[in-house]
A and B are shown apart, each in its own frame.
Chain A
């Protein structure tokens, strides 16, 4: 019985993160005449690692401000983004569980 209670406590503790979601955000910009400008209408693919291969999990189109958003991901997913046929960043990332008003920012990408 004692072990069961401990197991339940551990299971509940480990599942705290599952109750929340992660919001990811990034910005695509273009470098023109020494300045960066937001780049709208660019498709960004969210690539998730399923343990054996990369799979296209979702995609987004950048808005007028160059931002793209991926929302409601479970924390713990290994991911990268693909923009215009290239994959960013050089190292894969892991989704974090953050407060709802915060974003996990992928580095700004310049086309």
Chain B
């Protein structure tokens, strides 16, 4: 792969002339702006950038990005994107999907794009509902979600997208929410990661599942409810007015996480863990922390790269072709052949 050339652009260069057609107030607007703000900061080239999506509200995203874009079919964007990356590994590919598209109809492809580790950024907009089809419960809807298809409340257990991704073999897991000021930092880290980078973005569907993330996303009390992780930094949170007075520590007997009080900023004394983004076991515990007793883990939860799928494909192709000549005439005449000689009755014609 060639090293990407950094170029100068502004937010405007990444906007299309198309009218954005999400509902007024939809969280998708904030995510779109965050992406359009981040890409110039990364020096990305719109000509070399491809946004690929499936079906759903989130999947309209490519139409609003002044890049190459492919709005594919429901659930299949990871497969299309895999073909794009294998055909041209130099392209900078962003996948846009949702909880229904990426974890229900496309759950299989999501598993395989992650385990193969195809180098791309996968943004899963999780609004815990099917928006474009008018509000049915989704595979991430919490039990009891009332919707047209579950009038007295849903009763199937939801999937945790980050836990799914980790189980599938993802080497990067990030988490943010639509209006969070930290979202661009998560996007930047995902872009720097070589391999499949999975980012769950909680997104507010103001029509069908309004404010379902308010419990942790609301600005008021956010300090106590959001744990923003940074590699090499202690896992501290708390009301900013009183300082970061809480932390996450390991309950060694239960092999589980616990919340501890931090007195006078002495987090070491409180046993607060330092975030190691390459520690898969702790990452799993952070993902599974029940919200309520614990804050919501956000930021870069896991980042431990491995060789990418496309590099393996390129390598295999080189190995398999080594010393072989691409001569079609010889290929056609391969194997055991015989020659019928021309005779008088059958001159060569």
Are A and B genuine complex partners? no
